[in-house]
Amino acid sequence: MEKGRIIKIISNQYLVLSGDTKYSCIAMGKLRKGKSPIVGDLVEIEHFGKQSGIQKILPRNNELVRPPVANVDQAVIVMSCKDPNFSTTLIDRLLFQIVYHNILPILCVTKTDLIGDDDLIYEAIEQYRNSGYQVYTGNRESASEELIACFKNKITVLTGQSGAGKSSLLNRIDPSFRLQTQEISKALGRGKHTTRHCELYEIAGGWVADTPGFSAMDFSYMEPMKLAEAIPDFKPYVNGCRFRDCIHINEPDCAVRNAVEQGKIAAERYQHYQEVVAMMQQTKRRR
């Protein structure tokens, strides 16, 4: 069976990349009863005459809802120094969403041309690096070569506030991105509904979704224990707590809280975790 990846969906046409060839496919009958194919899906396709069809969706590593993308490898949190303002609260909320989906987080701090060399933002960047996160910086003139190298052979989503510089970043990395997006808005017409359209753009040897992948507010589907296990700086400690179902908030002999007290986990990240757990418990109570 021939395998490929869905890179674009427009209404009921699926563009599938197999090797170096792109096939326009339809969903075969038996598929329609199960889940719908989304971009990023690895699929089995079959050709009959001039038509091609998707026979099977292979199991997904993960799956995002907005935009619907499967098998995402990594998510770049784009955070500007100014306009809109830098916020570690927002970074950590996005970070928690990303790691919960088993996706590698990468932080990109943009608009460094708007701050001085001694700005406190650089201390925050160091704190993330010390906690083991990949952090890159960028401004109008440059995008980090290391960040560009990250895209190769990966499916990436970008996330961050409106105006943070996501589109600008992609255009700087690969000027063909602008062309690809312009073509789409021309094809769909200005202001037309684009909900049925989702596409992975080819950029720097990889694939990127053009719309933010996470909400910084919706934690209702999460479980605190699973979140703590997914946070890379917490992970080494979560199995050392006295209680197996410890959520690292008030329990005695909590290895996570001990690590915070000893400075092994950034106090600020733990505080953001506490806030998010409180948000989860509030939504549960309301139900």
Question: Which of Zn ion, ligand GTP, Mg ion, none binds 241 (CB below 5-8 Å, type-dependent)?
Answer: Zn ion
- Which residue, 93 or 269, is less far from ligand GTP as judged by CB? 93
Binding site for ligand GTP (CB under 6 A): 78, 110-111, 113-114, 138-140, 160, 162-168
Structure tokens, 215: 């909400």
- Which residue, 54 or 106, is less far from Mg ion as judged by CB? 106
DSSP state of 273: H
Least distance in angstroms from the C-beta of 80 to Zn ion: 34
Task: For 72-96, give the secondary structure using H, E and C.
Answer: CCEEEEEEECCCCCCCHHHHHHHHH
> Rounded distance, CA 229 to CA 245, Å?
11
Q: Is the dihedral of CA 181, 197, 154, 128 positive or negative?
A: positive
Question: Which of Zn ion, Mg ion, ligand GTP, none binds 256 (CB below 5-8 Å, type-dependent)?
Answer: Zn ion
Least distance in angstroms from the C-beta of 261 to ligand GTP: 37
Least distance in angstroms from the C-beta of 109 to ligand GTP: 10
- Which residue, 144 or 167, is less far from Mg ion as judged by CB? 167
Strand partners, 206: 203
- Which residue, 111 or 269, is less far from ligand GTP as judged by CB? 111
CB atoms within 10 A of CB 263: 8
Strand partners, 4: 43
> Rounded distance, CA 55 to CA 25, Å?
10
- Which residue, 167 or 271, is less far from ligand GTP as judged by CB? 167
Those residues with Cβ within 8 angstroms of residue 150's Cβ, 6 or more apart along the chain or in another chain? 74, 76, 106, 134, 156
Least distance in angstroms from the C-beta of 173 to Mg ion: 14
260 binds Zn ion (CB under 5 A): no
> Rounded distance, CA 287 to CA 250, Å?
23
Q: Is 165 buried (19+), middle (13-18) or exposed (0-12) by CB count in 10 A? A: buried
Nearest 5°: the CA angle 183, 199, 166 is 80
Question: Which of Zn ion, ligand GTP, Mg ion, none binds 246 (CB below 5-8 Å, type-dependent)?
Answer: Zn ion
From the list 91-99, 105-113, 160-168, 254-262, the region that binds Zn ion by CB under 5 A is: 254-262
246 binds Zn ion (CB under 5 A): yes
Length of the chain: 287
231 binds Zn ion (CB under 5 A): no
Least distance in angstroms from the C-beta of 212 to Mg ion: 9
Type of residue found at 277: V
248 binds Zn ion (CB under 5 A): yes
Binding site for Mg ion (CB under 5 A): 166-167
- Which residue, 41 or 210, is less far from ligand GTP as judged by CB? 210
- Which residue, 153 or 262, is less far from Zn ion as judged by CB? 262
From the list 68-76, 107-115, 171-179, 240-248, the region that binds Zn ion by CB under 5 A is: 240-248
Residue that is written with structure tokens 């197999």 in the block: 18
Least distance in angstroms from the C-beta of 167 to Mg ion: 3
Kindly list the residues in this chain that would bind Zn ion in the complex (CB under 5 A): 241, 246, 248, 254, 256
